[in-house]
Amino acid sequence: MGGPLVHLDELERQYCKSSRKAVLLLLVCGALVPVCAVAFTGVGAADASLRDILGALRGALLRGGQLQNANEKIVLHLRLPRIALAILCGAGLSVSGAALQGITRNPMVSPFTVGISSAAAFGASLSIVYGLGPFGGTNADIVLSAFAWALLCAVLVYLASSRAGMTPESIILTGIAANYLFSACDSVVKFFASDYQLAAAVQWLFGSLNGAAWSQVLVVLLVSLPCLGGIYAFAQPLNALSGGGDEIAKTLGISPGRVRGAVGLLSVLLTAAIISFTGVIGFVGLAGPHIARLLIGGDHRFLLPFSAVTGALLVLAADTAGRAIFAPINIPVGIVVSLLGVPVLVHLILKRRGEVR
């Protein structure tokens, strides 16, 4: 008696409730990012108080860069750019991972599956060992060289996989091939490097936020924002591709090949811009989206921004832990992020398995 109507209302109520829950989770965790940012700014070799942090911000924004003491200078010129880069780096790599997992329909994919980390490492090694570049072998050359080779790799993978039909398999396989190719090239360069150069190249591979400066933050920000916006505009096509498959996407008026090409290139550009500055910070591109997916579900309208949040928190926490535990020695964030992220990820996977049974 009147059953269907009651059911329809119930469905509507539950659906809206689950959407509200997702938005709430997103907002709460999103608010954690600035809170952690401020809290973690105080941690390090020199302890900065909340007053120093606020003073540095006030000095930079209101007093035209006039700072009152050394602590404020440390905060403004060393800590804050590092925190900002950590947030951008975590958010960018994690969103890039979520997008690439979406277009390949494969939860084991990360930005580095498609070979860009090896290519960037090769570019960095080239510059470190041979000092090539328009800036005479300085840090800017390393960044530029890493970025250029990462993009070249992306174009190679794009061309090869689009010839093979732009399927998930073709992207992953050509990506893995590119990975091996550039690893080999990188090894050749390192083989002929001196001990000192080799140490610098290996150091680059660790992935670190040491020496983060506002200029770097600005460049990464300028590349990231359009990429992030562009990827988010594809949220619904990503839903269709990852949840429905190619055939269903096609009948919805979506071209799978075109979506894969566009989202893939945006993700790779995003990743390349970040890792050229930071080196290889790998695990966050896999763990960030996974943690987000386990907590908020597979709808890319929520998954993409939530991946940004989980990635940012992960890198922030890892970098801070790396600075604090053996202070004054900084352990590179690329190492800590795996040490920190693996237990979180495994815990969530096991917990979810338990719930399903």
Residue 10 CB, nearest approach to other proteins (Å):
8
CB of 251 to other proteins, least distance (A): 4
The single residue among 170, 239, 307, 330 that binds other proteins, judged by CB under 8 A, is: 239
- The overall longest dimension of the chain from CA atoms, in Å, is 83
Contact between 41 and other proteins per CB under 8 A: no
Is residue 49 near other proteins by the rule CB under 8 A?
no
Among 82, 190, 260, 293, binds other proteins (CB under 8 A): 293
Q: What is the 3-state secondary structure (H, E, C) of 230-265?
A: HHHHCHHHHHHHHHHCHHHHHHCCCCHHHHHHHHHH
DSSP secondary structure string for all residues of 291-306: HHHHHH-S-HHHHHHH
**298 belongs to the binding site for other proteins (CB under 8 A):** yes
Task: Tell me how far apart the alpha carbons of residues 107 and 275 are, in angstroms, rounded to a whole number.
Answer: 21
**Does 230 contact other proteins by CB under 8 A?**
no
Among 2, 4, 134, 354, interactor with other proteins by CB under 8 A = 4
Q: What are phi and psi of 54, to 5 degrees?
A: -65, -40
Q: Which is nearer to other proteins, 111 or 256 (CB)?
A: 256
Residue in 210, 254, 187 with CA at minimum distance from that of residue 44: 210
Taken in order 122, 128, 129, 131, the sign of the CA dihedral is positive
String of DSSP letters for 302-327: HHHHHHHHHHHHHHHHHHHHHHHTTT
Residue 250 within binding range of other proteins, rule CB under 8 A: yes
To other proteins, the closest distance from the beta carbon of 25 in angstroms equals 15
Q: Which stretch binds other proteins (CB under 8 A): 31-39, 100-108, 278-286, 333-341?
A: 100-108
| 252 touches other proteins (CB under 8 A) | yes
Distance CA(26)–CA(302), nearest Å, equals: 8
Asked if 302 and 22 count as a contact pair (C-beta separation under 8 A), the reply is yes
Span of 4-12, 35-43, 134-142, 216-224 interacting with other proteins by CB under 8 A: 4-12
* Helix runs in the chain, H state only: 3-41, 50-61, 70-73, 80-104, 116-130, 139-163, 168-191, 195-206, 214-233, 235-239, 246-251, 256-278, 284-296, 300-324, 333-356
Confirm or reject binding of residue 251 to other proteins (CB under 8 A).
yes
Query: Does 319 participate in binding other proteins (rule CB under 8 A)?
Result: no
Residue 58 or 250: the one with the smaller Cβ distance to other proteins is 250
Q: Is 15 in the site for other proteins (CB under 8 A)?
A: yes
- Tell me if 166 contacts other proteins by CB under 8 A: no
Q: Are 94 and 110 in contact (CB under 8 A)?
A: no
- Under rule CB under 8 A, residue 235 binds other proteins: yes
Task: Compute the least distance from the CB of residue 85 to other proteins, in Å.
Answer: 30
Residue 266 CB contacts under 8 Å (≥ 6 apart), including other chains: 99, 227, 230, 231
Tell me, residue by residue from 16 to 35, as one string, x for binding to other proteins by CB under 8 A and - for no binding: --x-----------------
Q: Judge whether 201 and 125 are in contact, CB under 8 Å.
A: yes
Q: Is 36 or 240 the residue whose CB approaches other proteins more closely?
A: 240
Tell me: does residue 136 bind other proteins (CB under 8 A). Answer: no
- Contact between 182 and 155 (Cβ < 8 Å): no
For other proteins, the binding residues (CB under 8 A) are 4, 7-8, 10-12, 14-15, 18, 101-102, 105, 107, 168, 235-236, 239-240, 242-245, 247-248, 250-255, 293, 297-299, 301, 356
